[in-house]
Amino acid sequence: MARQAGRGGGPRGQRVGLVRAAGRSASSQRWLLRQLNDPYVARARAEGWRSRAAFKLIELDERFHLIRPGARILDLGAAPGGWTQVALQRAGARGRVVAVDLLPMAPLPGATVIAGDMQDPAVEQAAIEALGGAADLVLSDMAPNTTGHAATDHLRIMALAELALDCAVRVLVPGGGFVAKLFQGGAEASLLARLRRHFASVRHAKPPASRKDSAELYVVATGFRP
């Protein structure tokens, strides 16, 4: 896709780009400019990752050693599949990866993709069956549609993190791990208290691939205690 866009790199291509940009809202133009200037977006295209978010999981795994060969991994909110790709690559041929999302997601060879809500017991049961048992690692890069109101957005993503943790507590093996996206704010005390009851280690991390101007960070919990 990047190479095709480059074919219009002469003056005519520039004029077309300006016309298209002129029809966008100011926020859309800012987003487009940020994407065009983002080195992780370019790397993702060049290396075949479905999203720049793949680098966040790569960096978290390199720091915390989350994904073991042969691991059973449940990826919540998986679309478009960047984290699922990383999980497949790092778990290897003996691993099992199940991706769940409300949104449609194109198939990935080696992964089981389930369209549905993990709050639905039937979806959870299908995920466990596809994994072949309890999960070694539960991942959640779920995020809500943002409103621009920091307090509201924080509460919304905390609700998603709580749902992901509910699922993790039900499906993880003893000693398993959990990763979830949060937004920086003041309402995560109850979530952290739950995590510390259930996991031997709970840490926060902001991987380098996470944009500096973003409020996102990740909670990384290991050593699950049922």
CB of 58 within 8 A of CB of 67?
no
Residue 112 has pLDDT above 50, yes or no: yes
Which residue is it, tokens 């380098």?
208
Tokens of 20: 């298209």
Question: CATH number of the domain that 176 lies in?
Answer: 3.40.50.150
Range of the domain at 184: 54-224
> For the whole model, what pTM was predicted?
0.82
Are both 96 and 194 inside the same structural domain? yes
185 compared with 92, residue with greater pLDDT: 92
Residue 53 has pLDDT above 90, yes or no: yes
Q: Is 206 a catalytic residue?
A: no
Q: What's the Cα-to-Cα distance from 194 to each of 85, 87, 190, 198, 220, rounded to whole Å?
A: 29, 26, 6, 6, 13
What is residue 29's predicted lDDT score, i.e. its pLDDT? 58
Are both 11 and 94 inside the same structural domain? no
Flag whether 49 is in a domain: no
Among candidate residues 170, 168, 171, the one with its CA nearest the CA of residue 202: 168
Flag whether 160 is in a domain: yes
Marked catalytic residue, from 56, 181, 206, 212? 181
pLDDT band at residue 3, thresholds of 50, 70 and 90?
very low
Q: Once rounded to an integer, what is the mean pLDDT over residues 96-116?
A: 96
Per-residue pLDDT tens digits for 149-208? 877 888 889 999 999 999 999 999 999 999 999 987 765 788 999 999 999 999 999 999
Q: How many domains does the chain have?
A: 2
